[in-house]
Chains A and B, each alone.
Chain A
Amino acid sequence: MDLNVNAQGAGTTAREALAAEVDRLRKVKESVARVVIGQEKVVDEVLTALMCGGHVLIESAPGLGKTLLVKSIGTACGMAFSRVQFTPDLMPADITGTIALTQDEAGRSVTRFQPGPIFAQMVLADEINRATPKTQSALLEAMQERTVTVAGKRYELPEPFFVLATQNPIEMEGTYLLPEAQVDRFLFKVSIPFPSQDVLEAIVDTTTGSVTTLVEQVLTPEDILRVQVHVRDVPIADHLRSAVVRFVRSTQPEAAEAGDKVRKYVRFGVSPRGAQSLVIGAKAHALLNGRYAVSREDVYAVAGPALRHRFQLNYEGWADGVDPEALMRELLDGAFAAKA
């Protein structure tokens, strides 16, 4: 399709095509929001990460609808869903799968790869911090490589592949904190706030009545893959990209661009993956909101989920009560205000 010819002639074909995709994504949001009550922002961020092809780490207290959220999005997008409850005795093979001895049709004993729960398009890794680091790294390797190697054989994970891991920030006993290097592999870190009075009442009504609200499928996995391609094609202006890079550099305590606050309070700054997450998240956010180019507002909108797990304060920062997100926003302002 020669989009430029269409642009000259009919003039709206490219926009119409993209608008149709965006409309379907909006319908996913609306469909999920009917079930996951009062969490529109969380739904939006998760859907944005899905459009980017990234994974999401959700941090919330128990019972706030994490599983419901993942199930609903999976259903709306027509994606195969699986859930893994991480426990200290969970082994990597329990996630990735294992070679099992079985019998074929002829009755002969054969070894066959038995795929684990990770072989799904949408995986909920519940309480990932309860598993041992070895198990965690097995999951994180699959998330990064989108392949699983078992007994020397490499298995491709299905596309699209979306992992939504949760961790409980309250109960830390018997948990294994995820190393920063592994946390960095999540595109977004989403916090689910405790629902407000009205939202909680609505949740109680919806979940205790006889009427069950079902999520309808709006997209197909192919649609998701196509949207993921479109997201990567959304252009970003040079000066915005430069501002993102300036910001990321300014978060490094050792960098020359770092300010006094960063040097004093920041343990480690945003990684290059953070810059990637910021840009691609902004692209998805722009597209999800019907725009065809990244704006500064898109960058700011995704800065929280894209950076909060990549920006760590040191002990002095925590002791002085520094708000990391406020500090990040301050650094963002400085980066965008600076002359390109």
Chain B
Amino acid sequence: METTVSYGLVAVLRRLRLRLVAAAWLRGFFVSMTAAFIVYAVGRMAAAVPPLPGNRSYLLLGGSLTLLASVVWAIATAPDLRRVARVVDERTGLDPLLVTSYEAVVRKRASSLPQAALQEEVWDRLGGLDTAKAAPLTPPGRLWALVLIGATLALVPGLQRAVPNVSSPDPMPPESVVEDLVADVVSLAEVLEAAAGVSDYTPLAARLRDIAQELESGAALDGSVARELGEVLSAVAQAAEVGVDETSLALREAFSEAGVGPAFTEQGPQPFTFGGEAQPITDATQEGTEGAASGFDPDSVFRTLGQVAAALDRALSGQGERVAGSGDEPNAAQVGGSGGYYTDWNDEMAEAMAAKRASIRQRGRGEAAAGEASQADDAPGDAAGRGTQAVEAGAAEPDAAGTAIEEMLLEADPREGGRTMTYVPEPRWEQDRVVRAPVVLPSLVLGAEAPVDPERVGAEHAAVVAKYFERYPDTP
């Protein structure tokens, strides 16, 4: 016999079941979250997973799985109405009125006096039922404590770092650490590239650039990266201890020959050194190299990068300032920063080297043109004028080819007595090291076959030259 009491009882039980399912979902969510936290914390302790902030995709995936698991768990464990009645009975002290009453309703046995009295009793009790107590939606305190413990284990970086990393060689640091590391690596690479003019750090800079690019592209930051960084730092440290490498010395000699470069002073070529920064660089790199060599602690390697870069920057800047203070170009006003200074200095150096090469070539051309002139007009006094004419005639060829011609003053070979001569730079196609043989070779051949200008032979060599030519009677 279906009655209002029966319908009411069933309706109440259905509402309670909804709350129980919701509570089960919440509980399951908390349990799953706690489990995820604990798994993550254990993973961090075992160095099997990277820190949280750098892995939003992991967070999203873990959260979704946790949510899904809790929903599935709540649905799978959704109780039937009889079970709901039992649970509410136990929680509210009604045991076992509600479940007994529900079973009587289901079996339609509520017609006897005790059973009717039971229905009334239950109906009255349900009116004052505390649903929050019967089916609480708030997870119990112990669950909160569990979640807090799990979250603490997972999120406190100190705890994670306190645990030695021995089991896994491939931990993933936070994203911010990677960004800082990339910035440090790039900074160090820039400093080394800026120093490339005075020392051959280009391979080290290139290696650092490669490492930075790998890190930016999301490559795993593992022990091999740390070791590679350690090797670079070792090389820098070695350079800091030596103070100068052979390559830079060779360059320095070239600069001195060209008469340019910040290290070329009145005292002659000065070796490039790290000055007072050598020891800080050595100290900073030592920690990193030791960290890299001791298995795995990339942080110790990474932390030193910024220090090394800064020390190098200071050392190179100091070198530039010392040079600027010696009175040579460029002066301190031209130094907009270490990178800018060395960029300007390098440009100047390159131009000087190109000019030196051009002067050597032009010397040959001039001699060739002089030979042509003497062949056309044997008057010795016209040699210089013809020579100059020949140079201008030679310069007309690239102009005819449409190439701009710029004039500049060049301090020529000191053996020529410091004469100032006008130099027309080689056309730009020649800068590409592509030599037009039909243009160059005839003048060179003519020059080689031209007679020696006696005026150009020094008095101390005249006897030797005369003796030489006397061996060939047919020579004019």
Contacts and interface: CB of A to CB of B under 8 A. Distances in A.
Interface in A62-76: none
Interface string A1-23: 00111111001101101110000
A293 interface: yes
B116 A4 contact: yes
A239 B95 CA distance: 11
A295 B4 CA distance: 25
B96 A7 contact: no
A6 B95 contact: no
B113 A18 contact: yes
Given A4-B1, A4-B3, A8-B4, A292 B121 contact: yes
A238 B103 contact: yes
B99 A233 contact: no
Contact of B117 (A5, A15, A237): A15
B116 A14 contact: yes
Interface in B96-149: 96-97, 99-101, 103-104, 109-121, 123-124
Contact of B114 (A4, A18, A238, A240): A18
A296 B116 CA distance: 21
A79 B5 CA distance: 39
A235 to B, nearest CB: 5
Contacts of A118: none
Contact of A233 (B3, B103, B112, B124): B112
Given A4-B1, A8-B5, A292-B121, A237 B114 contact: no
Interface string A281-304: 000000100001111100000000
A236 interface: yes
Contacts of A296: 95-96
Contacts of A235: 100-101, 103-104, 109, 114-115, 118
Contacts of B14: none
Contacts of B113: 3, 14, 17-18, 230, 233
Nearest to A240: B96
A233 B113 CA distance: 7
Interface in A88-108: none
B116 A237 contact: no
B85 to A, nearest CB: 9
Contacts of A177: none
A234 interface: yes
A3 B112 CA distance: 7
Interface residues on B, range: 20 to 34
A4 B86 CA distance: 23
B120 A7 contact: yes
Interface in A216-234: 230, 233-234
Interface in A157-195: none
Contact of A293 (B1, B82, B86, B118): B118
A295 B89 CA distance: 11
Contacts of B110: 3-4
Contacts of B116: 3-4, 6-7, 14
Nearest to A17: B113
Interface residues of A, number: 28
Given A3-B113, A4-B1, A7-B123, A292 B118 contact: yes
A5 B115 CA distance: 13
A7 B101 contact: no
Contacts of A233: 112-115
A295 B86 CA distance: 12
A293 B85 CA distance: 14
Contacts of A7: 3, 5, 116, 119-120, 123
B96 A293 contact: yes
Most buried by B among A3, A6, A18, A293: A293
A238 B121 CA distance: 19
A143 B365 CA distance: 148
B100 A236 contact: yes
Contacts of B5: 4, 7-8
Contacts of A240: 96
B111 A4 contact: yes
B115 A292 contact: yes
Contact of A15 (B82, B95, B120): B120
B94 to A, nearest CB: 9
Given A14-B113, A230-B114, A233-B113, A4 B100 contact: no
Interface string B1-25: 1011110000000000000000000
Most buried by B among A4, A18, A238, A287: A4
Interface in A136-166: none
A34 B3 CA distance: 45
A260 B96 CA distance: 31
B423 to A, nearest CB: 105
Nearest to A226: B113
Contacts of B86: 239
Contacts of A15: 117, 120-121
B96 A237 contact: yes
A5 B2 CA distance: 11
A12 B112 CA distance: 14
Interface of A: 3-8, 11-12, 14-15, 17-19, 230, 233-240, 287, 292-296
6 contacts: A5-B3, A8-B4, A11-B124, A15-B121, A234-B114, A293-B96
Given A7-B116, A287-B114, 19 more contacts: A3-B110, A3-B113, A4-B3, A4-B5, A4-B6, A4-B110, A4-B111, A4-B116, A4-B119, A6-B116, A8-B5, A11-B120, A11-B124, A233-B114, A234-B114, A235-B104, A235-B114, A237-B103, A238-B103
